């Protein structure tokens, strides 16, 4: 089926015009052919009617004198007209008086004639005409049977002429419509080409010609107007983008600088604090050893508190130093995480044995990473799992890793106290602890350190947990660390 939407407008217009012209010419042709055939038939009938009248008038005397031979002789003259096939003269009682059959033509049984002067039966290409003879009284009737000579040929001729007119007018209509609609379709096609160019190149500076006052010019002007607005907006957007990019770059640089400065400060501070702290620890140790006996009970209590505080400060400074050190040595090598786990278990042996922790590990991968930092990561996660164990239950830690297309996914699952939903993000922030230091020892730096190590390996760390049901810490290590 022809689909107007999938065809070009030029073709559609030509087709519509051709269809209109075809229909108009066809209706005219049908009308003229029908009319000409009707006139042709009427003329033929009239001619035969005249012949019947002449025959009737000429045979009136023969009928009057009942001279059948004379009537027959008269009828024989019809031979000169080959379209007359049969003829009959009926007397006033309607009985056959004389008859004529064209040579080779069979005798035709004529119907009884009515009262009319002319009786015409249309039998397609054969017609019957009759004439009632009066002289002046009614004497009888002449009936002729004739063929419409050349009827088929003339109908064929009419059809041929109609077809010829149809073809000629269609060709003319095609030429005229092609010529006349060329200007419209050319402009429309140019419009379409320009819009395609705009959408293809995203060049909004393109403009359409707008000469004239017709709908296409109006459409082009509206389109140009729209393009102008888009171009303006694009300009503003571009400018904003450039400004935004510049600002983001500036802020990122500022942030990076501030971050570096802060890290340097933490590093230097924690490094430099170690020396005086060591002195304080040493001297308080010396005081405890040499002067404890001279101090009263209060003095001894103060001394014990000072010793405890300095010990805690030492741990804090060590952890801080560790945190600020991460990333300073960003060398990546082939690391066997199974080996790392073994070493970590070795290091934490005392705590593991004391707490009777059961560590179940599935095979762990060999991957690209920083060995020192990964060790620290494993250490922090395992020691937390031991530290935050549920009272009265044997701690079980399950460690596994899964290889994904772009990274490894590690899981450290424990059966400890668990973490409430609202703290799942907070615990990764430095110094954020959920418990009192007397309840669970610690500095609140461990998970911040873990996050920094994972980030250094282009990964992410998160926890899934519910209070009382244990926690699973997940982290990823990217395969491609370049
Ligand atoms: P710290 O262990 O020194 O307190 P972390 O940064 O390692 O500091 O942990 C922060 C907090 O997250 C902990 O104080 C604890 O409340 C919670 N947490 C960490 N690991 C676990 C765990 N395995 N089970 C339950 N809570 C945990």
The answer to whether 209 touches 220, Cβ cutoff 8 Å, is yes
What pLDDT is attached to residue 116? 40
Nearest atom of ligand 1 to the alpha carbon of 416: 24
Please, which residues have CB within 8 angstroms of residue 177's CB and are 6 or more apart in sequence? 13, 14, 17, 18, 21
Coil/strand/helix, residue 380: helix
Strands of the sheet containing 138-147, edge to edge, are: 96-101, 84-91, 138-147, 126-134, 121-123
What's the CA-to-centroid distance between 222 and ligand 1, angstroms? 66
* Ligand 1 in reach of 443 Cβ (< 6 A): yes
Mutate to test the pocket of ligand 1, among 447, 452, 462 (most ligand atoms within 8 A of CB): 447
What pLDDT is attached to residue 439? 81
Mean pLDDT by 10 residues, the chain (482 residues): 70 86 88 85 87 90 89 90 89 87 78 47 69 86 83 82 89 87 82 88 86 83 92 93 95 89 82 88 91 90 91 87 81 95 95 95 96 95 95 94 96 96 92 81 90 94 94 96 83
Put simply, whether the predicted model's pTM sits higher than 0.75 gets the answer: no
What pLDDT is attached to residue 481? 85
* Ligand 1 in reach of 303 Cβ (< 6 A): no
User: If you compute the radius of gyration of the chain from its CA atoms, what whole number of angstroms results?
Assistant: 59
The kind and range of the H/E element at 402 are strand 396-403
Please, which residues have CB within 8 angstroms of residue 409's CB and are 6 or more apart in sequence? 401, 402, 474, 475, 476
Residue 140: other Cβ atoms inside 10 A = 28
What's the CA-to-centroid distance between 433 and ligand 1, angstroms? 7
Q: Are strands 471-478 and 121-123 parallel, antiparallel or unpaired?
A: unpaired
Alpha helices (runs of H) in 214-296, residue ranges in sequence order: 215-291
d(CA 215, CA 234): 28
What pLDDT is attached to residue 112? 60
> Which residue's CA lies nearest to atom 2 of ligand 1?
442
Mutate to test the pocket of ligand 1, among 433, 451, 464, 471 (most ligand atoms within 8 A of CB): 433
DSSP letter string over 423-469?
GTTGGGSTT--SS-TTTS---S-HHHHHHHHHHHTT--EEEEE-TTS
Residue 314: other Cβ atoms inside 10 A = 16
Nearest atom of ligand 1 to the alpha carbon of 447: 6
Nearest atom of ligand 1 to the alpha carbon of 380: 7
d(CA 465, CA 419): 6
**Closest residue by Cα to residue 173 from 16, 17, 8, 11:** 17
What's the CA-to-centroid distance between 318 and ligand 1, angstroms? 18
């Amino acid at each position: 089926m022809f689909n107007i939407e999938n065809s070009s407008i030029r073709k559609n217009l030509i087709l519509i015009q051709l269809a209109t012209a075809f229909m108009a010419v066809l209706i005219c042709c049908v009308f003229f052919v029908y009319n000409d055939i009707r006139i042709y038939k009427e003329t033929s009938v009239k001619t035969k009617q005249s012949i019947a009248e002449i025959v009737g008038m000429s045979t009136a005397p023969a009928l009057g004198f009942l001279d059948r031979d004379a009537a027959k002789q008269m009828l024989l003259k019809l031979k000169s007209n080959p379209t007359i096939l049969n003829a009959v003269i009926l007397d006033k009682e309607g009985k056959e008086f004389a008859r004529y059959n064209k040579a080779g033509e069979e005798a035709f049984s004529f119907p009884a004639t009515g009262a009319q002067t002319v009786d015409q039966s249309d039998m397609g290409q054969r017609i019957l005409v009759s004439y009632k003879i009066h002289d002046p009284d009614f004497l009888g009737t002449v009936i002729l049977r004739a063929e419409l000579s050349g009827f088929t040929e003339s109908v064929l001729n009419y059809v041929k002429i109609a077809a010829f007119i149809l073809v000629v007018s269609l060709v003319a209509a095609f030429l005229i419509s092609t010529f006349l609609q060329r200007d419209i379709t050319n402009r429309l096609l140019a419009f379409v080409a320009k819009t395609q160019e705009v959408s293809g190149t995203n060049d909004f500076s393109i403009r359409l010609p707008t000469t004239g006052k017709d709908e296409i010019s109006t459409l082009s002007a509206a389109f140009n107007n729209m393009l102008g607005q888009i171009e303006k907006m694009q300009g503003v957007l571009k400018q904003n983008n450039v400004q935004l990019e510049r600002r983001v770059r500036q802020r990122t640089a500022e942030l990076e600088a501030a971050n570096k400065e802060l890290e340097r400060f933490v590093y230097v501070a924690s490094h430099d604090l170690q020396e005086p702290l060591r002195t304080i620890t040493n001297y308080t140790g010396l005081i405890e050893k040499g002067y404890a006996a001279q101090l009263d009970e209060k003095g001894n209590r103060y001394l014990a508190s000072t010793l405890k505080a300095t010990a805690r400060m030492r741990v804090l400074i060590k952890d801080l130093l560790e945190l600020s050190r991460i990333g300073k040595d960003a060398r990546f090598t082939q690391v066997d995480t199974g080996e790392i786990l073994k070493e970590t278990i070795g290091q934490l042996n005392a705590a593991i044995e004391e707490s009777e922790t059961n560590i179940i590990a599935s095979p762990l991968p060999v991957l690209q990473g920083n060995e020192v930092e990964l060790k620290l990561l494993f250490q922090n996660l395992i020691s937390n799992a031991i530290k935050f164990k549920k009272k009265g239950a044997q701690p079980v830690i399950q460690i596994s890793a899964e290889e994904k297309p772009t990274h490894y996914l590690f899981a450290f699952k424990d059966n400890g106290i668990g973490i409430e939903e609202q703290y799942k993000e907070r615990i990764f922030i430095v110094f954020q602890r959920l418990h009192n230091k007397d309840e669970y020892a610690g500095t609140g730096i461990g998970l911040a350190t873990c996050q920094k190590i994972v980030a250094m390996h282009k990964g992410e760390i998160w926890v899934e947990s519910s209070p009382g049901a244990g926690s699973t810490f997940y982290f990823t290590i990217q395969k491609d660390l370049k």
